[in-house]
Amino acid sequence: MDERELWRELGQQLRVDAVRASAKAGSGHPTSSMSAADLAAVLLASHFRYDFDDPRGKGNDRLVFSKGHASPLVYGLFRAAGVLSEEEFGTYRQFGSRLEGHPVPVLPWVDVATGSLGQGLPIGVGMALAGKRLDRLPFRVWVICGDSEMAEGSMWEAAEHAAFYELDNLTAIIDVNRLGQRGETMHGWDLSSYSDRLRAFGWHAIEIDGHDVEQIDAAYREAQTTTGKPTAVVAKTLKGKGYSKVEDQNGWHGKAVAEEAVEELGGIRNLTVDVPKPDHGEPHRFETSGGNWPAYEVGDKVATRKAYGEALAALGGDRGDVVVLDGEVSNSTYAEIFRDAHPERYLEMYIAEQQMVAAAVGVQVLGWKPFSSTFAAFLSRAYDFVRMAAVSQATLAFCGSHAGVSIGEDGPSQMGLEDLAEFRAINGSTVLYPCDGNQTTKLVRAMADLEGISYLRTTRADTEVIYSAEEEFPVGGSKTLREGDDVAIVTAGITVPEALRAADALAEEGISARVIDAYSVKPIDAATLCSLAMPIVTVEDHRAEGGLGEAVLAALAEGGATPHVAVLAVRELPHSGKPAELLAAAGIDAGAIADSARHVVQEAAAVS
Amino acid sequence: MDERELWRELGQQLRVDAVRASAKAGSGHPTSSMSAADLAAVLLASHFRYDFDDPRGKGNDRLVFSKGHASPLVYGLFRAAGVLSEEEFGTYRQFGSRLEGHPVPVLPWVDVATGSLGQGLPIGVGMALAGKRLDRLPFRVWVICGDSEMAEGSMWEAAEHAAFYELDNLTAIIDVNRLGQRGETMHGWDLSSYSDRLRAFGWHAIEIDGHDVEQIDAAYREAQTTTGKPTAVVAKTLKGKGYSKVEDQNGWHGKAVAEEAVEELGGIRNLTVDVPKPDHGEPHRFETSGGNWPAYEVGDKVATRKAYGEALAALGGDRGDVVVLDGEVSNSTYAEIFRDAHPERYLEMYIAEQQMVAAAVGVQVLGWKPFSSTFAAFLSRAYDFVRMAAVSQATLAFCGSHAGVSIGEDGPSQMGLEDLAEFRAINGSTVLYPCDGNQTTKLVRAMADLEGISYLRTTRADTEVIYSAEEEFPVGGSKTLREGDDVAIVTAGITVPEALRAADALAEEGISARVIDAYSVKPIDAATLCSLAMPIVTVEDHRAEGGLGEAVLAALAEGGATPHVAVLAVRELPHSGKPAELLAAAGIDAGAIADSARHVVQEAAAVS
Statement: residue B608 has pLDDT above 80: no
Instruction: Tell me whether residue B222 is one of the annotated catalytic residues.
Output: no
Statement: residue B440 has pLDDT above 90: yes
Statement: residue B298 has pLDDT above 90: yes
Residue closest to A59 by CA, chosen among A282, A215, A270, A222: A282
Statement: residue A205 has pLDDT above 90: yes
A354 to chain B, any CB pair closer than 8 A? The answer is yes
pLDDT of B548: 98
B157 to chain A, any CB pair closer than 8 A? The answer is yes
Statement: residue B427 has pLDDT above 90: yes
DSSP state of A171: E
What is the rounded distance in angstroms from the CA atom of residue B266 to the CA atom of residue B280? 39
Question: What percentage of residues in chain A have a pLDDT greater than 90?
Answer: 98
Query: pLDDT per residue over A474-503, tens digit each?
Result: 999 999 999 999 999 999 999 999 999 999
Does the beta-carbon distance from A181 to B577 stay under 8 Å? no
Helix residue ranges per DSSP H, A302-408: 304-318, 330-333, 335-341, 353-365, 376-379, 383-391
Over range B323-346, report the average pLDDT.
98
- A220: Cα within 13 Å, side-chain hemisphere: 23
Using only C-alpha atoms, chain A has a radius of gyration, in whole angstroms, of 27
Residue A605 binned pLDDT confidence (cut-offs 50, 70, 90): confident
Query: pLDDT per residue over A525-561, tens digit each?
Result: 999 999 999 999 999 999 999 999 999 999 999 999 9
Determine the distance from the C-alpha atom of residue B524 to the mean position of all C-alpha atoms in its chain, rounded to a whole number.
22
Q: Looking at this predicted complex, what is its ipTM?
A: 0.98
What is the rounded distance in angstroms from the CA atom of residue B424 to the CA atom of residue B419? 8
Statement: residue A466 has pLDDT above 90: yes
Statement: residue A451 has pLDDT above 70: yes
| Residue B27 with chain A: CB contacts under 8 Å | 409-410
pLDDT of A486: 98
From the list A181, A355, A421, which residue is nearest B546 (CB)?
A421
Query: pLDDT per residue over B152-189, tens digit each?
Result: 999 999 999 999 999 999 999 999 999 999 999 999 99
The one catalytic residue in B310, B353, B422, B540 is: B353
From the list B180, B328, B581, which residue is nearest A180 (CB)?
B328
B/e letters for A344-372, b = 16+ CB within 10 Å, e = fewer, are ebbbbbbbbbbbbbbbbbbbbbbebbbbb
Residue closest to B585 by CA, chosen among B605, B597, B569, B564: B569
Residue closest to A220 by CA, chosen among A51, A46, A32: A46
Residues in chain B: 608
Does the beta-carbon distance from A575 to B104 stay under 8 Å? yes
Burial class (CB in 10 A: 0-12, 13-18, 19+), A227: exposed
- Torsion angle in degrees (nearest 10) through CA of B481, B485, B489, B494: -20
Residue of A nearest to B326 (CA): A182
Statement: residue A281 has pLDDT above 90: no
**DSSP calls for B89-136:** HTTTT-TT-SS-SS--TTSTT--S---STT-HHHHHHHHHHIIIIIS-
Give the pTM: 0.98
- The total of other beta-carbon atoms located within 10 Å of residue B54's CB is 13
B100 to chain A, any CB pair closer than 8 A? The answer is yes
pLDDT of B605: 86
pLDDT of B114: 97
Contacts of B319 (CB under 8 A, 6+ apart): B288, B291, B369, B448
Does the beta-carbon distance from B182 to A28 stay under 8 Å? no
The one catalytic residue in A149, A353, A418, A540 is: A353
Chain B interface, best mutation among A387, A407, A534, A578, by max B CB count within 10 A: A387
Residue A259 binned pLDDT confidence (cut-offs 50, 70, 90): confident
Residue A604 binned pLDDT confidence (cut-offs 50, 70, 90): confident
Contacts of A154 (CB under 8 A, 6+ apart): A118, A119, A121, A122, A354, A355, A358, A385, B153
What is the rounded distance in angstroms from the CA atom of residue A121 to the CA atom of residue A119? 6
From the list B68, B182, B414, which residue is nearest A102 (CB)?
B414
Contact between A314 and A293 under an 8 Å Cβ cutoff? The reply is yes
| Residue A577 with chain B: CB contacts under 8 Å | 93-96
What is the rounded distance in angstroms from the CA atom of residue B39 to the CA atom of residue B42? 6
| Residue B200 with chain A: CB contacts under 8 Å | 196-197, 199-201
What is the rounded distance in angstroms from the CA atom of residue A21 to the CA atom of residue B479? 44
Residue of A nearest to B333 (CA): A182
Query: pLDDT per residue over A22-73, tens digit each?
Result: 999 999 999 999 999 999 999 999 999 999 999 999 999 999 999 999 999 9
Query: pLDDT per residue over A138-155, tens digit each?
Result: 999 999 999 999 999 999
Contact between B160 and B132 under an 8 Å Cβ cutoff? The reply is no
pLDDT of A608: 65
B114 to chain A, any CB pair closer than 8 A? The answer is yes
- Which A residues, 456 through 485, put their C-beta within 8 Å of a C-beta on chain B? none
| Residue B554 with chain A: CB contacts under 8 Å | 544-545, 549-550, 553, 567
Chain B interface, best mutation among A99, A255, A378, A409, by max B CB count within 10 A: A409
Task: Please give the C-alpha separations between residue A463 and each of A304, A591, B176, B302, in angstroms, as whole numbers.
Answer: 7, 18, 37, 56
